[in-house]
Structure 1
Amino acid sequence: MQLRKTFVVGLISVALLSGCSLFSGEEDVVTMSPLPKVENQFQPTEVWNRSVGNGTGEIYSNLRPAWQDNKVFAADRHGIVKAIDADSGKEIWTASLAEKTSFFRPNRSALLSGGLSVDGGHVYVGSELAKVFALNTEDGTVAWETQVAGEAVSTPVASDGVVLVHTSNGMLQALDQTNGVVKWTVNLDVPPLSLRGESSPTAAFGAAIVGGDNGRVSAVLINQGQLVWQQRISQPSGATEIDRLSDVNTTPVVNNNVVYAMAYNGNLAALDLRSGQIIWKREIGSVNDLIVDGSRLYLVDQDDRIVALDTQGGVTLWRQSELLHRNLTSPVLYNGYIVAGDSEGYLHWINTEDGRFVAQQKVDSSGLLSKPVVASDKLLVQAKNGEVYAFTR
């Protein structure tokens, strides 16, 4: 069954956001939980906000800011990229990656889609037009742009002199960090039907660890493009095509020589970094990135429960279930709290010890989709309409 990824995630998004059923029968209806009432223990402070183009609208996108040397870099889908002073929120420079057309026609959208990343003197961003751009951090000029094997909807990752890009057709490519030349390509394979979005690779000990739409996690040598190991953590099962989705869209986390990865409709697994062998596995799925902090693992599951587990065996320590189907962002750890946004534009602050709410705030009525970003003492949040906010605790 060949369906476009955009269509699949559109079906799922409609069900989650509107409460409509994907199939017939009352049991399939999904309803967003009402906003929980929270007595704030503190009031997060908004330091500044800055508009960056028109944002992403209702299009599924991983666009989110990046941060380095007291500069915040953010972009909108059309192709506007801005550098912002992290302390004041003042604009440092603006660049446009939209393709210039004739005088009488508007510029063609760059369709930026992957989250921004920054390393050394370059900001990297990918697009649905199968391009990866490197911009100079000082002035926003384009250092290079490269045509890659498919839509670049994941976040580019710079490591070991290359920029790693995972494309929507299952290709992992390494681009030379100085000029963008493709150094190698590895085919990770994709099933006929999969979710919109791809796992961003994690670089560890000279290897790129990345999830695939086929339910596998792979380790590839960065210098050679050689596949070291591949481990399936999720097996397609269920009565419907959507039930059988087993994409590993989350970014793997490496901690103490253990790889933690999670599949949609599948499993959370801990793998040995050297061999890829499964150490333990739990039946819990998501497309949201997870957090590993010491002996604890925090995640948002596919029903928007926030869960804390022990890293040694995956034992559940606590579960927060009052945000079901609010379409949460991936969580981050900031100032000792778990923070996640939702599709109605709220930020939720949660105690790491017991999962209780400690604060809640309305940020932007357009809603939040992308993962918040920790920038030193600030928390950066980009709303769907392109507004970027900086908060402090």
Structure 2
Amino acid sequence: MNTKRLVLISLLVLGALILSACSGSRTVSNNWHGLAADAEHAYVASGSHVYAVDLKNGNEVWRYPAEADTKLMFYANPVLTADGQLLIGSAGTAHPFVSLNPATGKENWAESFTKGKGAWLASPLVVNDTIYAPNTDGFVYILDMQGREAADPIEVGGALWSAPVTDGNLIYIASLDHHLHIIDPASGTSSVSIDLGGAAPSSPVVADGGVYVGSFASTIELIQANGSHEVIAKTENWIWGSPVLDGETLYYADLNGKVFSLNTADGSQNWEAAQSDAVVAGLLVTADQIYVVTEAGNLVALDRDGGSLWEKTVGGKLYSAPVISGELILVAPYQAEFTLVAYDAEGKQAWTFIPEK
């Protein structure tokens, strides 16, 4: 199987879906889904709506907007803020960046932010009372918590598909322009850009003194705050999803379907676990298990030593990382009969969510 070719074809299809929305002729819902959750609800970005789903039974609580708008399309993982907002932007021909009330789905801001020139495919980063929102136009827009522009946007370059991360001082953002960009919030500039040798469609993960990032160069790099960097691991195929750091162990996967565990203290590989198909999405790591979703539509649970515990056929294709809330593992498949499905830690299905027409 040529996994690079398959994923490239998938990207072309997804790109075509974005372009098809430009015609305004129909509601487009056939796209990868964004996913977030709190203790009560899952929030799913799917096509022309964002849905809140009751975690107890899988029932719809609300949808935004109430009526489908062919100019809107939602891909990014919604972001819940400490002050009770749900942030997300549209990737359609109309691309407002909005704040919703998680309980009701009503808009919080008097006006949505509309100065972004491209699509909102990335989730924003919230630091204290400031929102950093990356756009595919290559800019990071800086807003206050009321949706007003707080500072001039920062030009990074390349299409920005992934959420920035922060170490508390600097902001790190990966780009499809093959670079990891380091932003100094104090000066509002992108001071350092590191060439990764390949596109980086997913977020880095914060480490002590820097970040780890994977890319289409089939490498994991450790990048320090001062811009120094080194390759710490190589794979046989592209790394699409974000790595996960748990203590001194880094977990990541590649498009060959291999899941890796790396000891960051000495750089040695703990283990690798081969899956039956490409792994595009990031991993979910819990206290006892590692959850993997494959492009072919399977949810796999591994133990912390890489051993297989169980595998479930979800259906469709899985491009979004699973999310945990309480006892539930949430998975949002693309091109499936349902938009969201919940499993328990033993792999028993709790419910599925299919939006009403």
**TM-score normalised to structure 1 length:** 0.73
The answer to whether 1:113 aligns with 2:75 is yes
C-alpha spacing 1:269/1:281, structure 2 compared with 1 (3 Å) = same
Match of 1:37 in 2: none
Q: Is the 8 A contact 1:202 1:210 kept in 2?
A: yes
Alignment-derived partner of residue 76 in structure 1: 46
* Relative contact order higher in (CA < 8 Å, ≥ 6 apart): 1
Q: Which runs of 5+ in 2 are unaligned?
A: 14-26, 346-357
The ranges of structure 1 where at least 4 consecutive aligned residues each deviate by more than 4 angstroms after the TM superposition are 8-11, 14-17
2:101 aligns with 136
The amino acid that maps onto 2:163 is S
Contact kept, 8 Å, 1:264 with 1:302, in 2: the verdict is no
The answer on 1:226 being equivalent to 2:189 is: yes
Note if contact 1:98-1:109 (Cα within 8 Å) is conserved in structure 2.
no
- Percent identity at matched positions? 16
CA deviation after TM superposition for structure 1 residue 356, in Å: 2.1
Is 1:215 the counterpart of 2:181? The answer is no
Q: Aligned in 2, Cα 1:280/1:368: closer, same or farther, shift over 3 Å?
A: closer
Q: 1:198 to 1:10 in 2, by over 3 A?
A: farther
| Contact 1:55-1:387 at 8 Å conserved across structures | no
Deviation at 1:294, TM superposition (A): 1.1
Task: Give 1:335 shift.
Answer: 4.5
Q: CA deviation at 1:258?
A: 3.1
- Superposition map of 1:211-360 within 5 A: 211-222=174-185, 224-232=187-195, 234-235=196-197, 246-273=198-225, 275-284=226-235, 285-325=238-278, 327-353=279-305, 355-360=306-311
Could you say which structure has the larger radius of gyration?
A: 1
Please report the RMSD computed on the Cα atoms of aligned residues, expressed in angstroms: 2.8
Residue equivalent to 2:313? 362
Residue 189 of structure 1, CA deviation? 1.8
Does residue 128 of structure 2 align to residue 172 of structure 1?
A: no
The answer on whether the counterparts of 2:141 and 2:149 sit within 8 Å (CA) in structure 1 is no
Q: Is the alpha carbon distance of 1:110 and 1:323 closer, same or farther for their aligned partners in structure 2, counting shifts above 3 Å?
A: same
Q: Hey, what's the Cα distance between the residues in 2 that align with 1:231 and 1:68?
A: 35
Distance in 2 between residues matched to 1:224 and 1:186, nearest whole Å: 10
TM-score by length of 2: 0.80
| Residue 25 (structure 1) aligns with | none
Which whole-Å deviations, capped at 9, do the CAs of 1:30-61 have from their partners, x for residues lacking one? xxxxxxxxxxxxxxxxxxxxxxxx9943x4x3
Choose the corresponding residue for 1:163, options 126, 131, 137. 131
- How many residue pairs align between the two structures? 319
Counterpart for residue 34 of structure 2: 64
Instruction: Name the structure 1 match of 2:88.
Output: 125
Q: Unaligned 5+ residue runs, structure 1?
A: 1-7, 18-53, 100-106, 236-245
